[in-house]
């Protein structure tokens, strides 16, 4: 495992509870208020992803950088036939397995601790998603290429926007925790997707993010 991956693994093993609390709302009143003002786009990208995944029933999904399984488990609950989630953090994978069992969808979910590029399978998925993943990948092109190769119909991504007021604040905050973060312009996303082999794509600005659907 290279140094970047090792740092990411250690970071997410430490940060798992704080990360999930953004979605669950399991925070103090003031922290929840700040999230509603400054992080509303994280919930908006969840809605975007679920809408762009439709129809979900009977289809297979690959969730790259699945975190605590928010998206994977929501897809399984919406009658996805099969969901495979990948994450570098063993603590994230343990949480995914726990929640999938609790929600009664463990039979349709598989979670694997792995670097996306090290994931090996002969399986192809109807839809692949990578939400909040490319924030933390220095060189995303190879991951995009692999996702395209593993995907039959479409891929759904999010990218943090460059040149927002929050970008330098977030970069400084995460640097103090030993975590690198990367930002993207629309032009850079277009170049990456084209080089990865996606034939067509739609890019939508959602707050401080870009949400993307690529065919």
* CB-count burial class (<10 Å; 0-12, 13-18, 19+) for 36: exposed
Q: What is the pLDDT along the chain (215 residues), one digit of tens a residue?
A: 678 888 888 888 888 877 766 555 554 554 444 444 445 788 999 999 999 999 999 999 999 999 999 999 999 999 999 999 999 999 999 999 999 999 999 999 999 999 999 999 999 999 999 999 999 999 999 999 999 999 999 999 999 999 999 899 999 999 998 899 999 999 999 999 999 999 999 999 999 999 999 99
d(CA 31, CA 27): 6
Kindly report the pTM of this predicted structure: 0.91
8 A C-beta contact, residue 60 and residue 72: no
d(CA 151, CA 143): 12
d(CA 136, CA 180): 6
Name all domains of the chain by residue range, CATH numbers in brackets: 3-214 (3.40.50.150)
Give 202's strand partners.
213
Place of tokens 């694997």: 112
CB atoms within 10 A of CB 41: 19
DSSP E strand stretches across the chain:
60-64, 82-87, 109-113, 125-130, 151-160, 201-206, 209-214
Q: Which residue intervals of 39-185 are DSSP H helices?
A: 40-53, 70-77, 90-102, 141-150, 166-176
For residue 25, the SS3 value is coil
Q: State the DSSP H helix or E strand holding residue 21, giving kind and residue range, or none if neither.
A: helix 3-24
Token pair recorded at residue 147: 């996702």
92 contacts: CB under 8 Å, gap ≥ 6: 12, 13, 16, 66, 67, 68, 69, 113
d(CA 35, CA 24): 11
112 contacts: CB under 8 Å, gap ≥ 6: 84, 85, 86, 87, 93, 119
């Amino acid at each position: 495992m290279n140094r970047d991956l090792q740092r990411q693994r250690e970071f997410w093993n430490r940060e798992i509870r704080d990360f999930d609390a953004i979605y669950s709302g399991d925070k103090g009143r003031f922290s929840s208020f700040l999230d509603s003002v400054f992080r509303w786009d994280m919930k908006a990208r969840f809605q975007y992803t679920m809408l762009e995944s439709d129809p979900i029933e009977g289809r297979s999904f690959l969730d790259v950088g699945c975190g605590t399984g928010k998206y994977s488990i929501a897809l399984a609950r919406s009658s996805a036939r099969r969901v495979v989630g990948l994450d570098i953090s063993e603590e994230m994978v343990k949480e995914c397995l726990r929640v999938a069992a609790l929600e009664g969808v463990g039979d349709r979910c598989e979670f694997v601790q792995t670097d996306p590029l090290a994931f090996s399978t002969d399986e192809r998925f109807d839809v692949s998603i990578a939400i909040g993943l490319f924030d933390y990948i220095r060189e995303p092109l190879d991951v995009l290429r692999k996702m395209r190769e593993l995907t039959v119909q479409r891929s759904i991504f999010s990218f943090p926007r460059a040149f927002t007021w929050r970008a330098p604040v977030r970069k400084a905050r995460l640097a103090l925790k030993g975590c690198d973060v990367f930002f993207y312009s629309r032009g850079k996303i277009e170049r990456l997707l084209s080089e990865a082999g996606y034939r067509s794509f739609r890019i939508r600005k959602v707050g401080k993010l870009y949400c993307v659907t690529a065919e």
